[in-house]
């Protein structure tokens, strides 16, 4: 079992943060939204999950850069959803490579969405 802390990622290069069509005043601090960029930290080591260019993933570094960012995507948005992710919602995490986080045979990697079946 892997326990992770989800941190909100600041906007890149001064660009506006990627958000769904919800006015910022309606977003409660701490909410997780589809389209949000996040970092995933392993509390035991305080290192962030990192995706390398070949899809290999590890938690060896404490950096907060492009390779550590993940975009939250809803698998099947709820009818009438405002983009808020609720407990029990199924999500995908997209890495900077365009690959999605998944596991197969005990290995975690960022691969094409269909790779993991």
pLDDT in tens, 102-111: 877 777 888 8
pLDDT in tens, 72-84: 988 887 788 788 8
**pLDDT category of residue 88 using cuts at 50, 70 and 90:** confident
Q: The tokens of 23 are what?
A: 């006015």
Q: The tokens of 59 are what?
A: 């938690």
> Whole-model pTM?
0.74
Contact indicator for 70, 37 with CB cutoff of 8 Å = yes
């Amino acid at each position: 079992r892997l326990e992770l802390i989800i941190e909100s990622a600041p906007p890149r290069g001064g660009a506006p943060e990627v958000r769904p069509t919800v006015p910022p005043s309606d977003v409660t601090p701490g909410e997780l939204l589809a389209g949000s960029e996040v970092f995933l930290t392993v509390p035991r080591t305080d290192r962030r999950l990192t995706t390398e260019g070949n899809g290999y993933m590890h938690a060896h570094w404490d950096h907060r850069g492009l390779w550590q960012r993940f975009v939250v995507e809803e698998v099947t948005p709820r009818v009438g959803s405002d983009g808020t992710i609720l407990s029990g919602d199924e999500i995908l995490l997209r890495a900077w490579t365009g690959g999605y986080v998944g596991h197969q045979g005990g290995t975690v990697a960022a691969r094409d969405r269909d790779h993991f079946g």
